[in-house]
Structure 1
Amino acid sequence: MKRLVIGRGSVFADLLIIGEAPGAQEDLEGKPYVGKSGKLLNELLIHAGIDYKKDVYFCNVIKCRPPNNRKPTAREINIHKPWLLQQIKLVDPKFILLTGSTAMRAILEVKDPISNLRGQWIKKDGREIMVIFHPSYLLRFPSKEINKPYHLTLKDLENVRGKLYAV
Structure 2
Amino acid sequence: MDSAGLRELLTFYADAGVDEPLLEEAADRFEETRTEAEKRAAQRQPAQQKAVAAPQARPAAPAAARAAVPDDAQAARAREIAKSAESLDALREQLSAFDGCNLKTTAKNTVFADGNPQAGVMFVGEAPGRDEDIQGLPFVGRSGKLLDRMLAAIGLDRTSVYISNVIPWRPPGNRDPSPLETEICRPFIERHIELVSPKILVTLGNPSTKLLLNTQTGIMRMRGNWAVHRTPSGLEIPTMPTLHPAYLLRNPAHKKLAWHDFLAIKLKLEEAI
Band the TM-score falls in, shorter-chain normalisation = over 0.9
AA at the equivalent of 2:248: L
Candidates 188, 193, 211, aligned match of 1:88: 193
Query: How much has 1:54 moved relative to structure 2?
Result: 2.8
Deviation at 1:117, TM superposition (A): 0.8
Q: CA deviation at 1:90?
A: 1.3
The structure 1 segments of at least 4 consecutive aligned residues displaced by more than 2 Å after TM superposition are 52-55
Residue matched to 1:3: 109
Matched pairs, number: 161
Give the structure 1 partner of residue 247 of structure 2. Answer: 137
For 2:243, the aligned partner's letter is F
The verdict on how the C-alpha distance between 1:114 and 1:102 changes in structure 2, with shifts beyond 3 A counting, is same
The unaligned stretches of length 5 or more in structure 2 are 1-106, 231-235
Distance 1:165 1:71 in 2: 35
Do 2:132 and 2:138's aligned partners in 1 also have CA atoms closer than 8 Å? yes
- Counterparts of 1:108-123 in structure 2, within 5 Å, are 108-123=213-228
Equivalent residue in structure 2 for 1:128, among 232, 235, 238: 238
Q: CA deviation at 1:45?
A: 1.1
How big is the shift at 1:31?
Answer: 0.3
1:159 equivalent in alignment to 2:267: no
Give 1:124 shift.
3.2
Q: 1:65 aligns with which of 170, 175, 180?
A: 170
Is 1:13 equivalent to 2:119 in the alignment?
yes
Question: What TM-score do the two structures reach when normalised by structure 1?
Answer: 0.92
Q: Which amino acid aligns with 1:120?
A: N
1:62–1:80 CA contact under 8 A, matched in 2: yes
Match of 2:206 in 1: 101
Q: Do 2:126 and 2:205's aligned partners in 1 also have CA atoms closer than 8 Å?
A: yes
- Between the aligned residues of both structures, percent identity stands at 37
Partner of 2:90: none
2-side partners of 1:73 and 1:48: how far apart? 34
1:52 partner SS: coil
Deviation per residue, 1:120-142 (Å, 9 max, x gap): 00123321001101000000012
Do the aligned partners of 1:48 and 1:154 also contact (CA within 8 Å) in 2?
no
**8 Å CA contact retained: 1:19, 1:99:** yes
CA-CA distance at 1:110 after TM superposition: 1.0
Bigger Rg, structure 1 or 2: 2
Aligned residue for 2:176, secondary structure, equals coil
- CA RMSD for the aligned pairs? 1.1
| Cα distance in structure 1, aligned partners of 2:217 and 2:208 | 12
Higher relative contact order (CA 8 A, sep 6+): 1
1:26 maps onto 2:132 in alignment: yes
Structure 1: gaps (5+ residues): 144-148
Distance 2:264 2:217 in 1: 22
Q: Determine helix, strand or coil for the equivalent of 2:150.
A: helix
Q: Which amino acid letter does the alignment assign opposite residue 134 of structure 1? A: H
AA matched with 1:66: P
Corresponding residue SS for 2:159: helix
CA distance in 2, matches of 1:156, 1:110: 19
Q: Partners of 1:121 and 1:29 in 2: how far apart?
A: 32
